[in-house]
Amino acid sequence: MYTSLLLAIDGSELSELAQSHALALAKAFGSKVVVVHATPPWSSLVVGDAVVMYPPADYEQTMDRSAQRLLAKSADVFKAAGIAVETVHNTDPQAHKAIVETAKAKGCDLIVMGSHGRHGLAGLMLGSVATKTVTHAHVPVLICRT
């Protein structure tokens, strides 16, 4: 049914739950897996007359190292189960766009991700990457919650 799954991870416990579902689905259907981690691009923070900056080159290196560690840890789980896996680190200010675009580019037919399930004011203020992904995705999205 599903030949290529996209697993969106962020390092949270919910991300690990989504990973366990993706692993079970990949085993059941013989699917390959694309694991994606999206990080925001560098930016400065302006507060009144002050500008807070993290050096752009340092930021990029730190984010990339962190993403590669997270992606490698996830990939090892799939490799140990004999499942073909590819990892992608995307930089986008809107994580849902990175997830949806990666799914399109890699020909994935299901997106698997965790969600904190925020609603009400918290959901409105913080936004939900999961909700935005469901809204914009061209394929089914499996949302995993505890």
Q: Report the pLDDT value the prediction gives residue 115, as an integer from 0 to 100.
A: 87
Closest CA to 92 of 22, 35, 43: 43
Joined tokens for residue 35: 């694991």
Pick from 35-39, 44-48, 59-63, 119-123: least confident: 119-123
Element of type H or E holding 40: none
| d(C-alpha 112, C-alpha 91), whole Å | 19
Burial status of residue 86 (CB atoms within 10 A of its CB: 0-12, 13-18, 19 or more):
middle
Q: Three-state SS for 115?
A: coil
Residue 118's domain is classified under what CATH number?
A: 3.40.50.620
What is the average per-residue pLDDT within 38-64? 72
Residue 32, pLDDT above cutoff 90? yes
| pLDDT mean across residues, the chain | 87
Residue 107, pLDDT above cutoff 70? yes
Q: Three-state SS for 119?
A: coil
The share of the chain scoring above pLDDT 90, in percent, equals 65
Provide the CA 137 distance to its chain's centre, in angstroms.
Answer: 13
Residue 124 pLDDT level (bands cut at 50, 70, 90)? very low
What is the average per-residue pLDDT within 78-96? 95
How many distinct structural domains can be found in the chain?
1
Q: What does pTM read for this prediction?
A: 0.85
List strand residue ranges (DSSP E) for 9-109, in order: 32-39, 45-47, 50-52, 85-91
Domain coverage including residue 91: 4-144
Q: Report the pLDDT value the prediction gives residue 125, as an integer from 0 to 100.
A: 43
What is the average per-residue pLDDT within 15-32? 97
| d(C-alpha 128, C-alpha 133), whole Å | 8
